[in-house]
Amino acid sequence: MRILLLAALLVPAPALAGKRKAPAPDLADTAAVVIGRALQAKDTTWTRMQELCDDIGHRLSGTPELERAVDWAARRMEEDGLSVTREPIEVQRWVRGSESLVIETSGRAREVPILGLGNSVGTGGEVIEGEVLVVGSFEELVAKKEAVKGKIVLYDVPFTTYGGTVGYRYRGASEAARHGAIASLVRSVGPTSLSTPHTGSLGYVDDVPQIPAAAVDIETAAWLHRLQDRGQKATARLSMEAHFEDPVTSHNVVGELKGRELPDQVVVVGCHLDSWDVGQGAQDDAAGCVAAMEAGRILASLDVRPRRTVRVVLFTNEENGLAGGRGYQEAHADEDIVAAMEMDTGAGPFEGYRIDARTGGTDDETLAERERIIAAFGAVEHLFTALDPEFVPSFSGADVGPLVDHGTLGIGLAMDTTGYWPIHHTEADTLDKIDRAHFQRDVAGMALMTWVLAEWPDLPRVQRTLGGHP
């Protein structure tokens, strides 16, 4: 970098005549500077993780903690030299209240750990009591539908992948209610458990009654399944105070670095600032937020601003509404947002980038378009050598999803998630689970890709089968 600056000073005067314009930085030299600064930023990164996780803690939509996080992020990004705005977003406010589940079998009653599912109704100040019926799939539920009425259904479905299992958490209550269940329980959506139930949102369908739903830990689900297999009955007594209160105003926090040559082309790098109301929301998604903020801070520290505008966007309300991601797309529909990157699958060992382009056409067309864009990244592959990333055609992230649906190139930071799914949405999503060295490479991956997206002149644009760019 020093050599580069010296060279700029030696350029003869006529070349700089007229409008004084900073020369375009050398791509490889600046990429090395970005990676170097990101990997050396351990102290800043970790201090910020402590501020967000230890000082503020978990941050469910509608809580004062989330708005404290908004203020904190705005302050830190201002200190970093970004111009900061807070864009108001109305968010729903779901409140868990106290909750309990007591299982009685063979004359003995025992309270087991649960977490009510986000957006669930409560039990209306009563205790709902019913016999437990365990099923291992939706097909088994339908096969046993004559036995469902008046029961509390438990889905004991072992974790395969998150996408492959989360449907039981999301749709289970309505599917059980369709056949007359009075409440719904789901085995936590995670591969392992140390009595740590996993929350997350559910969705009710319109044409069936809304019944309360909670996650039990894997230990309880397996126990109840064993009892049923041996012909032993179990009764469940469920009490949940869950309810909605009036919506409140939250904010997407945006830190902007105006582009030097193409300020109207915008690169978004983001995460979600809200979390569930358990643990510290450390990997979901404080890590993504601090990494996105670090990308902004490092790019602001360069001698030359990136060619395009960079916006760090900390989205609100991803976990139980996605109002932040949707609202951002609507508010900025007239802008040319060329790419949007998100980190929201933990802080494990860095693997690379998930390239997401949605053509509006068939699945085959979408896959072909993602592969075309990955091939185009071959031209800048050398910039990434130090991090050795994979580029895979895949989903990018929930918050940037609405932008990607409208033609923006989506990129998800990819990391090994082995350590993530066991603690995701549980009381155990805390700072101690994060390996600082692994996380710092994620930060470098975010910073480098953000800079490449903002600087690379030939950045590919998504070709829409239906419609043009937004």
The strand pair at 308-315 and 243-257 is best described as antiparallel
Residue span binding Zn ion (CB under 5 A) among the ranges 20-28, 202-210, 228-236, 280-288: 280-288
Give the residue with the Cβ less far from Zn ion, 285 or 356: 285
- Which tokens belong to 211? 């019944």
Q: 248 pairs with which residues across the strands?
A: 91
Candidate residues 217, 285, 351, 427; the one interacting with Zn ion per rule CB under 5 A: 285
Give the residue with the Cβ less far from Zn ion, 354 or 464: 354
Which of the 8 DSSP states describes residue 284?
Answer: I
Active site residue 318: yes
Candidate residues 284, 356, 427, 455; the one interacting with Zn ion per rule CB under 5 A: 284
Residue 67 touches Zn ion, criterion: CB under 5 A: no
Cβ 64 to Zn ion shortest distance, Å: 21
Cα-Cα-Cα-Cα dihedral sign, residues 51, 52, 54, 59:
positive
Give the residue with the Cβ less far from Zn ion, 284 or 427: 284
**What gap in Å lies between CA 61 and CA 59, rounded to an integer?**
6
**How many residues form the binding site for Zn ion (CB under 5 A)?**
3
Give the residue with the Cβ less far from Zn ion, 148 or 434: 434
Residue pair 325/315 in contact by the 8 Å Cβ criterion: yes
Residue span binding Zn ion (CB under 5 A) among the ranges 121-129, 135-143, 170-178, 341-349: 341-349
* Secondary structure class of 214 (helix, strand, coil): strand
Give the residue with the Cβ less far from Zn ion, 276 or 377: 276
Q: Which of 67, 318, 319, 369 is flagged as catalytic?
A: 318
Give the residue with the Cβ less far from Zn ion, 275 or 309: 275
Cβ 46 to Zn ion shortest distance, Å: 20
Which of the 8 DSSP states describes residue 285?
Answer: I
Cβ 115 to Zn ion shortest distance, Å: 16
- Which tokens belong to 354? 């998930």
Say if residue 392 is exposed, middle or buried (CB neighbours under 10 Å; 0-12, 13-18, 19+). middle
Any residues with CB less than 8 A from the CB of 371 and at least 6 apart, and which? 393
**What gap in Å lies between CA 389 and CA 169, rounded to an integer?**
33
Cβ 410 to Zn ion shortest distance, Å: 15
Cβ 425 to Zn ion shortest distance, Å: 8
What number of other Cβ atoms are within 10 A of residue 6's Cβ?
A: 9
Q: Amino acid identity, residue 252?
A: N
Residue 344 touches Zn ion, criterion: CB under 5 A: yes
Residue 99 touches Zn ion, criterion: CB under 5 A: no
Annotated active-site positions, please? 318
Binding residues for Zn ion, rule: CB under 5 A, are 284-285, 344
